[in-house]
Amino acid sequence: MGWVTGICVYVVVWWVVLFAVLPWGVRAPTQPEPGMAASAPERPRILLKFAVTTLVAAVVWLGIYAVVQSDLISFREMAKPH
């Protein structure tokens, strides 16, 4: 895996993990302020979610990198016509 491919894979993994982490701990306010959506989260804690996403995405990316580098699953062999 080249460095450009590695960065692209990390970005895709980061976004997938972010969408999995965003709903954690979301609570709608009991009395929303006028002009605000009733479903808007009370305390979104977005910086914490970004940090967790970055750490989890790094672990997942390392797993993907290890599998690709070890040839445990040979993607090149799978792509060859038989």
Sequence ranges of the domains in the chain: 3-27+40-79
Residue 54 · residue 2 · CB < 8 Å: no
- Spatial neighbors of 39 by CB under 8 A, at least 6 apart, are 28
Q: So what's the pLDDT on residue 63?
A: 95
**Stated pTM of the model:** 0.78
- The CA distance from 78 to 36, in Å, is 52
> Residue 61 pLDDT more than 80?
yes
> Residue 74 pLDDT more than 80?
no
- What is the tens place of the pLDDT at every residue in 28-46? 888 888 888 888 888 889 9
> Residue 21 pLDDT more than 90?
yes
Q: So what's the pLDDT on residue 51?
A: 97
